[in-house]
Structure 1
Amino acid sequence: MDTRPVLVCTQDEDATADLVIAELNRRRVPILRFDPGRDFPAPVVLAARIESAGTSRTKSGGGWDGKLTAGARTADLSAVRALYHRRPSPYPTESGEQTARFAAQENRRGLGGVLGALPGCLYLSHPQAIARAEYKPAQLGAATRVGLTVPATLITNDPGEAKRFCAEQPTIYKPLHAGAYAVGGEPAGIWAAPVEAGEIDGAVSHGAHLFQAQVPKVADVRAVVVGGQVFSAFIIAPPGVVDWRADYQSLTYEPVACPEETRGALARFLADFELNFGAFDFAVTADGAWWFLECNPNGQWAWLEEAAGLPITQAIADLLESGANRHE
């Protein structure tokens, strides 16, 4: 029996991670779950060391050795088969009193640095790769390089440029980052929405804005890629809905095969960012063309698995259990 553990880094309440953990438990795969941003330096305890090559302490393959303990469970850092970087809490804000700032910086770089440098470990996906892939300009550039069809896009803080772009074609505005936002103290989302040239004013100069040609879509697709497997489904919203995330209750779903050409482009996209997972969103036009909109390198998928009957939990568990890293 393979006793190498899988580390799961996520928040205490993460129903999506729970599905994967339950499947790994069913397979008797050892798991150590913790939230680096909240559980360190207590109750998580780290004792990591690295030795010069050739010393009696050096294990085969070298690299970091030692222990990571969370509660009653301990993982050998030199024998971690996979790390599932799901949705951990951010490390504490590096602000306030000087000593607290220093400690926060050391915790993030110490624990986070060791977790990102485990020898022979499969990352789903590596935290630094996820962070790099979250930038929409990088995504759009990579999408064009790998052969995906991308709508005309403008990122600007120039009201004149924005007005001209919106006058050239039907246009939508979308945020560059889907961060936390509240209206009247209540959580709210900033969805993609149509914008016309006459609506553009000097407020655009206050920051970067992303404007994109509106695709005349008949449906959306979310394609979830796990290692080399692609699971995709049509997402059908009521007429007139631009951003399906704004109206979950009215959506219907239908599994769909990913076109072979698109499948190859998705693999190249993930390889470009050194990712083992990606949740891709496409707009589909009446002629069957798939237009790339974005990729969430750590996107949600559990609701889609249930709605469209896609075995994503099993695929993620397979990858974590195998520990085989295709980017080696």
Structure 2
Amino acid sequence: MTVLVLTSEQDVTADMVVAQLHELGVPLVRFDPGDLPGDVALSAEYVRGEFRGYLSTGGRVASVEAMRSVWIRRPGEAAAHAPEPSAWLTDESGHALYGMLDSTAARWMNHPSAAARARRKPWQMRLAHRSGFPVPATLVTTYPAMARKFAEQYRHVVVKSVSGKSPGDPPMALPTTLVPPDADFSGVAAAPTLLQRYIAKSADIRLTSVGCTHLAARKTAEAGQVDGRFGETGHTWEPVDVPAPVARAVERYKKEAELAYGAFDFAEDADGTWWFLECNQGGQFGFVELETGQPIARTVAEWLAAEPTA
């Protein structure tokens, strides 16, 4: 049975897992949905209750019924690379591809519908509370008065992007920024704004959860550090044990979110509490594996290689 990997051609993280799948001797097909139609072709037949489907790319043909798993990494938009791309062609191609794949018993990491919901930060905050994580007080608003009141109440707050994306091509990561309580919040009316109580952290924690396996790493933070993604601290990622309450909360979160994979980010405070910041359903892990030696790529490959249970 075949593993299907849907991602861009330049995805180095996917390269790491593909190498592990080759070591395991697992057949796989990899392509970017942006190449459908064109370098990627498909065919699905539904006759007298029978279903037969095929995907082909680079001279290789794979039976859809024989898919053991589908890994959605960072796929392009369907038909993005077509000679004459259009919204209509993207819609037609996406419905054909994912509708055909939904007809299989393959396991997903992660299913597109679950992944789309899991990317929404307001939904993440609510689910994190229900799952048992400590979560900083958070406000998403277009009311300047509400933003001002929130900042006055918590004094030290940060502003974040709600979607995690920014305008531009390619999009740039928007840093988390500390704002003073007397800031001018009138601009909040122009777009939904996410404000969150600032956690004075001693370290950043990245927990990569693959199936039932949780691999966590810790990176010491500098005093007053706000966003660990930007700037050098002189510290590296080191493996760290996952506290049992955190592991239970991760499992509850993933079960309700219907995720097989999640990259959880936490801020560890001076008391050792791990504060939930976000869960990236398609988060990178290569940088953690390279610094810690944790076998994340191998763990992902083994999950993808397992036989479907139904």
Q: Pick the TM interval, shorter chain.
A: over 0.9
Q: Alignment RMSD, CA only?
A: 1.9
What amino acid does structure 2 have at the position aligned with 1:154? L
3-state SS of 1:246 partner: coil
Pair 1:75-2:62 in alignment? yes
Deviation at 1:201, TM superposition (A): 2.9
Q: How does 1:217-296 map to 2 (within 5 A)?
A: 217-247=201-231, 250-296=234-280
Unpaired segments ≥5 residues, structure 1: 59-63
2:95 to 109, 120, 127: 109
Aligned twin of 2:6: 9
Equivalent pair of 1:174/1:191 in contact (CA under 8 Å): yes
- TM alignment of 1:20-39, pairs within 5 A: 20-37=17-34, 39=35
Query: Do 2:68 and 2:105's aligned partners in 1 also have CA atoms closer than 8 Å?
Result: yes
Report the counterpart of residue 144 of structure 2 in structure 1.
159
Deviates further, 77-86 or 242-251: 242-251
1:181/1:189 contact within 8 Å kept? no
Tell me, yes or no, if the aligned pair for 2:79 and 2:89 is still in contact at 8 Å: no
Aligned to 2:127: 142
Are the aligned partners of 2:209 and 2:215 in contact in 1 as well (CA < 8 Å)? Answer: yes
Q: 2 CA distance for matches of 1:243 and 1:151?
A: 15
- Please name the residue that 1:61 is paired with: none
3-state DSSP of counterpart to 1:244: coil
Is residue 46–residue 67 contact of structure 1 (8 Å, CA) maintained in 2? yes
Q: Within the alignment, does 1:87 sit opposite 2:107 as a pair?
A: no
- TM-score, length of structure 2 as denominator length: 0.93
Contact 1:244/1:251 (<8 A) preserved: no
Q: Please tell me whether residue 50 in structure 1 is matched to residue 36 in structure 2.
A: no
Distance in 1 (CA, whole Å) between partners of 2:198 and 2:111 is 33
Normalized against structure 1, the TM-score is what?
0.88
Percent identical pairs in the alignment equals 36
Corresponding residue SS for 1:83: strand
4+ runs deviating over 3 angstroms: 185-188, 248-251
Residues 248 and 105 of structure 1, relative CA distance in 2, 3 Å threshold: farther
Q: Matches of 2:288 and 2:165 in 1, distance apart?
A: 22
Aligned length: 306
Q: What's the CA shift string for 1:121-147, capped at 9, x where partnerless? A: 011111111111000011111111111
1:40 aligned residue: 36
Q: 2:163 aligns with which of 160, 174, 177?
A: 177
